[in-house]
């Protein structure tokens, strides 16, 4: 069981008084009934609802939050605040929105504030980086927590000694991936495509265009373009397949060390096929095809993973 799911099952057990094993049995039965069309976490929510449990007034840890949850309460530390953005509402009024990045001892999440009273707390400096906040009645949209006018936001006295601010990748099957998930997938490379090359500006890392043999950055003008590569592969973990995009820095993890030598490149692509690897990344929707794709941040060999597990035990 992965950590997130395990915590939810324990929580359901604690509130309902039903044994963990029995809850897991019910979750599996629910999934079987729905022909696996629902994720373990989703099935857990259905089972919880059937047991009459609502997480409504429960204070949850960030790790326990699931897409679709409503009336979410939590306490967390503000790590970072984005600049306040304004936009025109449908009525033609000016609306404001701001993102808070918060963390607790289990994970971190983006909170999106839409209410002008809440945003006022940031404007007047009451809520700033490093303070603790208490949130009530938020709603989960994908992997973000949204606060509207019915939500509450206030300062909390809770002190967090240590918070998890690093990216948290949850172990998932490809079938269960949702847009914007940060996930760790264990799967086989079943197809790899020709690497593609492009050039970026050395200052801002944005893509540059080639004009008369020069590289031109829209911001920095003529620059010395840096050659970068990207590779598309198809990953299969037995539950589903997904197209993955690995950019330059993730390529060595896939065994691509020499991108200039054509023969080496062919060999490296052949070696990759059928290989089982751990992929860490982010699910995004491909704008062109409107299909999910996995943006690879890091690749690890499965052996290394086993080694770490051994060390932990
Ligand atoms: Zn530039």
pLDDT for residue 282: 93
Minimal CA–CA distance to 114: which of 133, 130, 101, 100? 100
The gap between the terminal CA atoms of the chain, to the nearest Å, is: 16
Q: What is the pLDDT of residue 307?
A: 65
In this predicted model, what pLDDT tens digit does every residue of 39-80 receive, in sequence order? Answer: 888 888 888 888 888 777 678 889 888 777 888 999 999 999
Q: Is 265 left (phi over 0), alpha (psi -120 to 50) or beta?
A: alpha
Q: 230 CA distance to ligand 1 centroid (A)?
A: 19
The residue whose two tokens read 């052996």 is: 303
d(CA 218, CA 201): 9
CA 247 to ligand 1 center in whole angstroms? 19
Q: d(Cα 292, Cα 303) in Å, to the nearest integer?
A: 28
| C-alpha of residue 224 to centroid of ligand 1, in Å | 10
CA–CA distance, 292 with 301 (Å, rounded to integer): 24
Contact 116, 57 (CB under 8 A): no
The pLDDT of residue 235: 97
CB atoms near residue 217 (< 10 Å): 20
Cα of 216 vs centre of ligand 1, distance in Å, is: 8
User: pLDDT digit string (tens) for 89-132?
Assistant: 888 888 999 999 999 998 899 999 999 999 999 999 999 999 99
Band of residue 1 on the pLDDT scale cut at 50, 70, 90? very low
Q: Mind listing the pLDDT tens digit for each residue in 156-188?
A: 999 998 999 888 888 899 998 988 888 999 999
Count of C-beta atoms within a 10 Å radius of residue 292: 17
């Amino acid at each position: 069981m992965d950590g997130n799911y395990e915590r939810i099952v324990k929580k359901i057990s604690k509130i309902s008084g039903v044994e963990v094993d029995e809850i897991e049995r019910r979750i599996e039965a629910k999934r079987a009934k729905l022909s696996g069309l629902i994720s373990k976490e989703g099935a857990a929510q259905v089972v919880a609802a059937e047991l009459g449990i609502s997480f409504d007034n429960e204070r949850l840890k960030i790790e326990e939050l699931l897409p679709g949850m409503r009336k979410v309460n939590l306490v967390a530390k503000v790590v970072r605040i984005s600049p306040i953005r304004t936009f025109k509402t449908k009525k033609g009024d000016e609306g404001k929105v701001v993102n808070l990045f918060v963390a607790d001892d289990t994970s971190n999440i983006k909170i999106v504030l839409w209410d002008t009273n809440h945003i006022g707390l940031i404007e007047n400096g009451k809520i700033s980086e490093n303070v603790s906040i208490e949130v009530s009645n938020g709603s989960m949209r994908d992997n973000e927590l949204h606060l509207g006018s019915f939500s509450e936001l206030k300062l909390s006295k809770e002190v967090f000694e240590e918070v998890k601010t690093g990216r948290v990748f949850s172990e998932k099957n490809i079938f269960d991936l949702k847009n914007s998930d940060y996930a760790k997938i264990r799967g086989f490379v079943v197809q790899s495509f020709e690497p593609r090359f492009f050039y970026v500006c050395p200052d801002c890392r944005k893509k540059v265009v080639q004009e008369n043999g020069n590289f031109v950055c829209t911001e920095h003008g003529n620059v010395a373009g840096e050659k970068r590569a990207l590779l598309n592969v198809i990953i299969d973990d037995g539950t589903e397949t997904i197209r993955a995009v690995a950019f330059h820095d993730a390529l060595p993890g896939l065994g691509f060390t020499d991108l200039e030598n054509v023969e080496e490149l062919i060999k490296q692509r052949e070696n990759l096929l059928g290989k089982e690897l751990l992929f860490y990344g982010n699910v995004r929707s491909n704008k062109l095809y409107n299909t999910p794709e996995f943006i690879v941040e890091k690749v690890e060999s499965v052996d290394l993973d086993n080694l770490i597990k051994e060390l932990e035990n």
